[in-house]
């Protein structure tokens, strides 16, 4: 059995941002009415959030990050690492983490990393942060 130890790292806060537009899974065009009912019953996911065509993944991340920085009363000069975990990056290149770094006004020395991953991405992101901290 594998165990993970992240020394010298702590989670100070969380922030999230979701698009304002809400659509019901009952009206999802790829589901029949019967499939929608089964999907909702098995997952508990009745609605989904839909971004407009102008909103990127980085836009949502930046909004959440700005709120988190404000809530934690952090100085942006003290942030030295951005790890972006997503299955929906803005581009293949440049890395979305670099876009986030620049748009947040973080230091040019700030370490940035994109991780293309889904469910396991949260844990994989934590492992990479721990690796960066122990350099």
Q: Residue 128 has what pLDDT?
A: 74
68 and 26 inside one domain: no
Number of domains in the chain: 2
**3 in a domain, yes or no?**
no
- Name the pTM for this structure: 0.78
**46 in a domain, yes or no?**
yes
Task: Give 19-88 as a DSSP string.
Answer: -SEEEEGGG-TTS-HHHHHHHHHHH---EEEE--TT--HHHHHHHHHHHHHHHHT--GGG--EEEEEESS
Q: What mean pLDDT do residues 89-111 have?
A: 93
**75 in a domain, yes or no?**
yes
Domain with 35 in it: 20-50
pLDDT digit string (tens) for 6-52? 566 677 888 889 999 999 989 888 888 899 999 999 999 999 999 99
**102 in a domain, yes or no?**
yes
């Amino acid at each position: 059995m594998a165990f993970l130890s992240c020394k010298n790292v702590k989670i100070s806060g969380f922030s999230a941002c979701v698009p304002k537009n809400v659509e019901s899974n009952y009206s999802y065009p790829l589901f029949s009415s019967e499939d929608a009912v089964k999907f909702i019953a098995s997952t508990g996911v009745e609605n989904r959030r839909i971004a407009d065509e102008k909103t990127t993944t980085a836009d949502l991340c930046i909004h959440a990050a700005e709120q988190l920085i404000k809530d934690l009363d952090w100085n942006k000069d003290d942030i030295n690492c951005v790890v972006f975990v997503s299955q929906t990056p803005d581009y293949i290149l440049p890395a979305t983490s670099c876009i986030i770094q620049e748009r947040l006004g973080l230091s040019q020395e700030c370490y940035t990393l994109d991780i293309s991953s889904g469910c396991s991405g949260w844990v994989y992101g934590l492992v990479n942060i721990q690796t960066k901290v122990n350099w």
